[in-house]
Structure 1
Amino acid sequence: MPELPEVETTKRGLEPLIVNQIIEQAVLYRANLRWEIPKHLPTTLANQMVNSIARRGKYLLIKFKVGTLIIHLGMSGSIKVVNNNTPLKKHDHFELSFTNGKSMRLNDPRRFGAVLFSADNTHSLLDSLGVEPLENLFDDTYLYNKSRKKQQNIKAFIMDSKIVVGVGNIYACESLFYAGIDPKRKAGSISKKRYAILTQRIKHILTQAIKAGGTTLQDFSSVDGQPGYFSQTLSVYGRENENCTQCNGKIMRFTQNQRSSFYCPSCQT
């Protein structure tokens, strides 16, 4: 699933290509994604100029004078900008065609993505989101205070989008490894000193992943079609039974919260 680094990579790739461009038409090729794409978009967005593009958690926010287009890439989505006359690909479900001869297309094979619209720039999906992990509000004090009396495991805790957004499964595994924290530990049992290390590791891992263009394991590619190269530097995720990069132990995998968790039993306590 595209997480914060992949969505941020997409946002940065789109920004110079679509901001200040005027929409010629919006086309719904298949409206029934995770939620139905609003049928009014072709009328609402016609002749509108893209004022800016932002990211909130895993949502892309394309802003117009008339409101905000909210896009989620789901499990397998990606966005490309191509020439208007480029043949459609299978699973191209939504398109913004611009007057400069370019088109922005959402491709989503599994159809878990979303294209929504808010006329007043608010939405219930955004209202419940926690802090952004790369902002100053996300620090050891914040995590420590939020974790008190929490019985859930630390991995589920840092992946909870109501606590902090965008720390997906890959980045949670990697951050806990570098913080030396066992993913099975209860969030409420971890000291503030260890949360200080964990917040630093989360920020570092996400920053490095953005620089590498995100992580491509199966479907994700950036606006220009390039894969994310952070997968080449993963230390634990996907490395079951391989040697730990920091000790002589073996990386282990187990199922946790219906997801695969990877960790080193020797390094993480």
Structure 2
Amino acid sequence: MNRLVIILILGIFTAGILTVSFISDNFVDANSTKKINFTKTIISSQDPGQGHENHQLALILSPNEGTLYDGSMTFTSSEPVEIVVLHEINSNDAKGQPTWTIDGNTIYAISLIDLKSKSDSFEFTGAALALHSLNSKEFTSTVSVDGWIRGQLTEIITQKIEVQKEPSLLLSRTNVAAIIPMHEGFYNGNSIFYIITDSSQQEYAEMITKKQSWKVETAPPIEKTPEDTLQKIFIFKNGVKGDGIYGHQKEIFSSTPSQELEYSALNSVIEVTWKKGQNAKILESSEEIINAEEDGRV
């Protein structure tokens, strides 16, 4: 069993708890209902909806299939804005009601509440929430949201700001949805989900980036993190084929956020290799790996 001096910053998803430092939304598990509360500042961009090309949109809660948002919002904005609430519908149910779509295939019913105001509070229920302006002028808004997400989240969606150079040499900022790939692993026989954001080694970061089609950043300084502050993640280099990082079985973690005294988002990677002649099988806990090592199987 080979040890690599590689440290990853991982977001572990277990019991519905999100522990990724760069996402400000706070989730609390309640079976299929999750609490959400945050404050953030958003810069609008061109509305991507068909027929809205000359409008501006600041997306607050992104649409996610099968998910319903319910709560209240307070906002302030640099320009008078409307509130947009989208509702997930079947395309056959449109039947003349106002709709919003990007590609003409996925269609949402749209509630457009014109407050003619730069600040207000509003209670909402729907599949997405945004601020909207009929003008093409960019606006900046700060929003505070307190509410619930109902339904099973299959993707973690956040927003990032990109700066693009226009032909006129003016800079514009665009809010886009970033879908972060999730991986499945094991902790004590139970499935957990996690994301990979950083690695201390460039080669490893490039390998994961290629595999998951989402960039893993290289952060050499995290390699200096004291060993006793790290948790362990076991990655299999051979054995049973599967969805693991090297194409074999899923990774195994030594702790999760439920183990508050042991858990760390910084992970020391331990590569596990089955010895020749051994009958490889799926392992689901760090204890099973230790036993396999003591028996001379890995």
Q: TM-score, normalised by structure 1?
A: 0.28
Which fold has the larger relative contact order, with Cα–Cα distance below 8 Å and residues 6 or more apart in sequence? Answer: 2
Larger radius of gyration between Structure 1 and Structure 2:
2
Greater helix percent: which structure?
Answer: 1
Which structure carries more strand by proportion?
Answer: 2
Taking structure 2 as the reference length, the TM-score comes to 0.26
